[in-house]
Amino acid sequence: MEIKLKDFIEKEKIVAFVNVPTSFSNLKSNKKIAYVLANAYRQNIGVKKYLEKKFVSFSQEKFQKACQMVLLNPDILKSNLLHLSFTEVKKLRFVEALLYNSETILFENFEQGFFARNRSYYQKLFLKLTQYGKCICVFSNDISFLMGMTKQFYLYTKQNYLLIHDFYDNRIYDYVEMPPIISYIKYLHSKNIQVQPYLEMKELLKGIYRNVTSGADL
């Protein structure tokens, strides 16, 4: 099913999509929209030379600020595009999006390959960017990553799409893996143990503690 991004873009919003088969690998970034993908660079060229060719008025100062924002070591300028790691490729494409100052930034499976601390940082960064008028489009099948940024997302099925407002909606998990916290709380509910539908582990632990101290069985 073809997706028309222009129908979904909203300034100052995070717009999330799940189970979308569309690929963006053939599209090029520009000032309107930038694509932050995991596709490896194919050019046998130094990073600095690549950026100088892409951005006529390339500024190392702006580059370093962008690197600091996306947690990329600015020394990457000395590297060859072909030698970049999986996560370096995504970070560098993120830097490009910031150098373009694109109105919309599209992230495809960006969270893959990052540990929890960095994932949490990027969630906060995406939210921060919306405060500067950006539309952040997040394409991911990792529901846990989305839970930290938005309260709704578009779930694509074979022939249509649904706007999902509840991360506990069982229809989601006909298509993607269920996050551990949701799986555990659903298990508790199946045992008639009443726990609120938490989305954060620290809130779940607080809830369990409250139940234990009040004498409830878990």
Give residue-wise pLDDT tens across range 50-106: 999 999 999 999 999 999 999 999 999 999 999 999 999 999 999 999 999 999 999
What tokens does 89 get? 């490729």
Q: Kindly state the tokens that stand for 150.
A: 């938005």
C-alpha 105/C-alpha 100 separation (Å) is: 10
DSSP three-state, residue 163: strand
pLDDT, one tens digit per residue, over 101-129 is: 999 999 999 999 999 999 999 999 999 99
What is the per-residue pLDDT for 73? 98
Residue 45 one-letter amino acid: I
pLDDT category of residue 203 using cuts at 50, 70 and 90: confident
Query: 216 vs 139, which has greater pLDDT?
Result: 139
CA angle 135–148–134, rounded 5-degree value: 10
What confidence category does residue 2 fall into, taking pLDDT thresholds of 50, 70 and 90? low
Q: Look up residue 80 and give its DSSP letter.
A: B
Q: What would the 3-class secondary structure string for 67-101 be?
A: HHHHCCCHHHHHCEHHHCCHHHHHHHHHHHHHHHC
> What letter does residue 101 receive in the DSSP assignment?
T
The DSSP annotation for 10-56 comes to -TT-EEEEES-----TT----SSEEEE--PPP---SBHHHHHHHH-T
Half-sphere exposure of 181 (CA within 13 A, CB side): 21
- Per-residue pLDDT tens over the stretch 11-22: 999 999 999 988
d(CA 51, CA 95): 10
Are the C-beta atoms of residues 43 and 83 closer than 8 Å to each other?
no
Report residue 130 CA to chain centroid gap.
13
Residue 158 identity? K
**Chain segment 155-201, per-residue pLDDT in tens:** 999 888 999 999 999 999 999 999 999 999 999 889 888 888 888 87
